[in-house]
Amino acid sequence: MLWDELARRPYAAETGPVDRARCEALCPGETARVVRDAARAIERRVDLLGSEEIFVGRPVEWLRDHKTGRTWPQAYAPRVDYAELDRDSDVKLPWELSRLQWLIPAGLAYRLDGDERYALTVREVIEEWIAANPFARTVNWAIAMEAALRIVSWTWFFHVFARSAAWSDAAFRRRFLDVLYAHADFVERHLERSDVNGNHFTADATGLAFAGLFFGNRGRGRRWSTLGWSLLRAELPRQVTTDGVDFECSTAYHRLVTELFLFPALYRWRAGLTIEADVRERLLRMGEFAAAYSRPDGTTPLWGDADDGRVLPLGGQDVNDHRYLAELVAMAFDAPGLAPPPAADRSEIFWLLGDVPAPDVTPPGNVSKAFAKGGVYIMRTELDHVFIDCGPVGTAGRGGHGHNDCLAFEAVLEGVPLVTDSGTFAYTSAPRWRNAFRATAAHNTPMIDDEELNRFVHPDYLWLLINDAVPRVVRWSTGADRDTLEARHSGYERLPAPVTVSRTLVLDRTGHRLAVRDRFAGQGEHHVSDPIHFTPGVDVGPAEADRCDLRSEGHAFVIRWGPADLWSAEIVDSWVSRSYGTRAPGRCLRLTRHGPLRDLAFGIAPAGRDSETWLSDVLEMSDRT
């Protein structure tokens, strides 16, 4: 029988029964998390991209933006206007709902105890989706990427529930396989190919690879598997630099794209197929980058866009904790040296790979790294983490998911997150906010004459930027006592009175202190704004003549700047978005000057000790740094 034959085939992840006691021993608290989230799934209560927990209907309202109430019509998908920039609707809401990833905890709970309630819930929801979304007739068929990601979740559900009583009905089995097959046919016919491909095209290829490996030699299975893998192999060196950085210039999309390339590789490995050396090497480098940008506390720099997209989210870690990614790559390719110390929450690894021990790794500790091809530099000690963007505008100069953040930085000092990027917040539902969050002023980098460092093409072109700011790294060095980076960009050389912006950053590795000097080369009078956005939760004192006190997590810091008589300082309100659809108030120190160009230096240091003397020296930074 076809169903049984497909159920015997290998899969990319473990899907069989799990010993509850062993799960709890390896991942304390995970069983309670899974049971809780599975109960929410049974009740059809879902948190959709910042919506907070909402009831999505019985049957599920698949075509609805559950935040605004907007419902898309049932119509031929290519003719559906899903962006709707003149409305506050967000098509990502029905898309996220239709990926069915919110049902995954029900599958995990079934693996724990075999309770048929979970199998029945997932079957009912899938049947409701099929009934409400005829082939190519709703907004949920608008792009191939969404169909491709459903292929991944549906194949996982199949292998989890294939032998359950709730899934034993022959008519349901036929409908399920027919619609899954139609998904692969749709993706093949609607590949999102362009002159420069990004994560959408990669997702399409991943969906084809999964469908092909799922169906094997049945029908077009072999063709889909071969096509999907060949597309992935071709795109990997185009989209990922030789040092492992996704060219979309975003940590969140780096995670997504790593999963998109890695999961088909895991599927092929389990199926006994070849993983070519070039693919293995590039994936290892991607894992190495994730290990470097992941902080010890599990937080991740908010570099570029973030829509929280995942391929097969199984674990219970925070949405911004990417530590599992490096560990997964390390374990998949037997390269433990690239991984950070295993995260406290190893649930993602457990559900994917099973009962496997954590790799024996040497903590990265105080290893600073340059990812020069990707344009990212990371200064790191046991207690400090400074992430600096010296890369090009994203997606090969198009903008894409990159922001106006050239020479911007985020900083953790003495274990305390202090300086942050602003994040993303939203896409098409709020074009004004979308542009504000990707604008220069939302990042920790100088702004000249209120101009963007990369011009916006048009306010409605939410993923395009003009490639003005071409970066150049002048100096990078790391040693026992200090790390130094000096770089510049050309973003403001287009002005009638051109200005070249240069920035030098120095991390005092033993004192947990960061110094920054900005130089502005040019003629004439200009308005210069240099913002420093603080992490929400940092208590920011008033801006005095040349200093401001900071407090967070029981630690005290001071930031000083100068020449104080040439620069004005004010504390202003700002916004920080840690995840898609959410934002929290923050505070920003804005240093400004209007007139002839003058250099600016500022430094952040723990209060007390010899920091005041050191900060005074910072204000007189010269080439000796």
CATH number assigned to the domain comprising residue 57: 1.50.10.100
Final residue in a domain of this structure, among 140, 167, 194? 167
Q: Flag whether 76 is in a domain.
A: yes
Instruction: Provide the pLDDT for residue 474.
Output: 97
Say how far apart CA 90 and CA 452 lie, in whole Å. Answer: 26
Q: Considering 116, 147, 167, which residue would you say is the last residue of a domain? A: 167
Q: Is the pLDDT of residue 623 over 50?
A: no
The answer to whether residue 544 sits within a structural domain is yes
Domain count of the fold of the chain: 2
pLDDT of 266 > 50? The answer is yes
The span from the CA of 590 to the CA of 444, in Å, is: 10
Q: Does some domain include residue 216? A: no
Question: For residue 131, is it within any domain?
Answer: yes
Question: Tokens 């400074």 sit at which residue?
Answer: 386
Q: Name which of 31-40, 174-183, 415-424, 606-615 the model is least confident about.
A: 606-615
Q: Which residue would you say has higher pLDDT here, 335 or 533?
A: 533
Domain residues for the domain of 533 are 369-618
Domain boundary at 101, 135, 167, which? 167
Stretch 519-540: mean pLDDT, rounded?
98
Q: Return mean pLDDT, the chain.
A: 94
Is 38 contained in some domain?
yes
Which residue do the tokens 């997606």 mark? 395
Report the CATH number that the domain containing residue 517 is assigned in CATH. Answer: 2.70.98.70
**Do residues 591 and 568 lie in contact, with contact meaning Cβ atoms separated by under 8 Å?**
yes
Give 445-454 pLDDT, tens digit per residue: 999 999 999 9
Residue 546 to residue 565: CA distance in whole angstroms: 9
Any domain includes 336? no
Residue range 194-204, pLDDT digits in tens? 999 999 999 99
Q: What crossing angle do the helices spanning 251-270 and 199-215 adopt, rounded to 10°? A: 20
pLDDT surpasses 80 at 529: yes
Asked if residue 621 has pLDDT above 60, the reply is no
Q: Is the pLDDT of residue 338 over 80?
A: no
Give the confidence band of 332 by pLDDT, cuts at 50, 70, 90.
confident
Ranking 343-347, 398-402, 465-469 by mean pLDDT, the lowest is 343-347
Name the pTM for this structure. Answer: 0.96
Q: Is the pLDDT of residue 361 over 90?
A: no
Lowest mean per-residue pLDDT among 3-7, 48-52, 262-266, 598-602: 48-52
What is the tens place of the pLDDT at every residue in 63-115?
999 999 999 999 999 889 999 999 999 999 999 999 999 999 999 999 999 99
Write the single-letter amino acid at 336: P
211 within domain boundaries: no
